[in-house]
Copies of this chain bind each other. A is one copy, B any other.
Amino acid sequence: MQRVGDVDLNLSEYVETERERIVASLFEWLRIPSISAHPDRADDVHRSAEFTAQLMRDAGLEHVEILETPGAPSVYGDWLHAGSDAPTALVYGHHDVQPVDPLDQWTSPPFEPVIVDGECRARGAIDDKGQVLYEIEAVRGLLQRDNKLPVNLKFLVEGEEEVGSPHFEDLLWREAERLACDVVVVSDTGMWSRTVPSICVGMRGLVAFDVTVRTGAIDLHSGSFGGAAPNPAHLIGRLVADLHDAEGRVTLPGFYDDVRPLTDAEQASLDLLPFDEAKWKRSACVQRIEGEQGRSVLERTWTRPTCDVVGINVGYTGDGIKTIVPAEGNVKITFRLVADQHPAKVTEAFEAWLAARIPDGVDVTVRPEGPGVAPALTPVDHPAVQALRRAIARVWDKDPLFTREGGSGPEEALGRVFAAPVLFLGVGLPGDRFHAPNERMVMDQFWKGLLAAGELWTELARG
């Protein structure tokens, strides 16, 4: 895959001629402090939605509309004239931003964007206004050049992604007909590095359980009863210890049975990623690596199912010591799932595993947190993934590698509600300080993102 020069890219000329206007537009948007977590910024979030709508209209998108929710509004726009044979893509991003605390750690004010050393510094630069803007500008550029797009396009730009998308799935179901699509393109993520472009193809699923263990009616005096009274802390300790074997594998019977092995291509792509263990430890602020033996860190966090206890609360937890045998304890246990594990099946396995470990005379309540989230995995040889691969390869002049995400975000709902593959076109870099002071976007990545979006629609139309 060779890049023959900028002139071969659909939007090279557009970028050259429109560069200054686009940066001015980016700056104007970044100046709106659309912090969805702060109720007193609700007006700013609305202002940001209006700005998004205007960007869409200016680009030539139609049916532009602010979609109100019980929280902050999303913005919709579309262009649907590519014909019924052409695929329909839904582009997802968000216009709200994270809070800016601690403010004193910013080297320039978070809502006064500047470009320094080729980086745009501002809250929202990479997460996610910059990434939504290059998608909208790509549409504008293509329509300006060709008066048409190779695919039918819909945009959905959310307003409360940074507070956990509380009304997003409701909105998807409510607007399911209008939003229907063949492929989802999420523009809110990153790639491995500036020189190692990458495409995320999978997300882990999740099941979570809140387990309460009661061994007695009241806390007992450990002098009088200790040694004969059952202790829920001991039982919970054994349960937690039993979740993993000595090799760090999860002990639920059949837990790994449905795990789809990596294909040779997937494994090869994973092995090509220049993973740096010391750097990973620094980013996690930990001094050691644990987990399933015989697996790399990337496998452990992306392609393997795992179990993490996220909280334990038993007995006396204040200052000092209280000499009791506690009566009750709680442990919260989560499992990350990978294709083709099923949340319901893992739930069943966990409940059986647990029941086998609860002795007579102990009351246990297991509360699953909702139905769980299924893992998502788009095969790397899926035509849509291959289209994105060609687009990225052409712009970055390098074949992208395939990565995964260890968790799942609102993207999971998009793929599920529309039964469509989810593509991630994201130009963020590990040093972009998502959610942190001095958030930045590397401008070179921004222009490449714009060019890649322009290529992607052509490639998707080719199928």
Contacts and interface: CB of A to CB of B under 8 A. Distances in A.
Interface of A: 204, 206, 208, 210, 215-218, 220-231, 233-234, 236-244, 280, 284-292, 297, 300-301, 304, 306, 308-317, 320-327, 329-332, 334, 336, 359-362, 369, 405-408
A309 B204 contact: no
A292 B227 contact: yes
B311 A316 contact: yes
Nearest to A222: B308
Copies in the complex: 2
A227 B332 contact: no
A315 B312 contact: yes
A78 to B, nearest CB: 31
A285 B218 CA distance: 7
A203 B315 CA distance: 24
A317 B330 contact: yes
Given A227-B300, A336-B227, A311 B310 contact: no
B231 A290 contact: yes
A231 B250 CA distance: 14
Contacts of A280: 228
Given A241-B237, A301-B228, A359 B288 contact: yes
Contacts of A244: 234
A220 B238 CA distance: 24
A411 to B, nearest CB: 12
Contact of A227 (B228, B321, B406): B406
B406 A362 contact: no
B236 A237 contact: yes
A310 B237 CA distance: 12
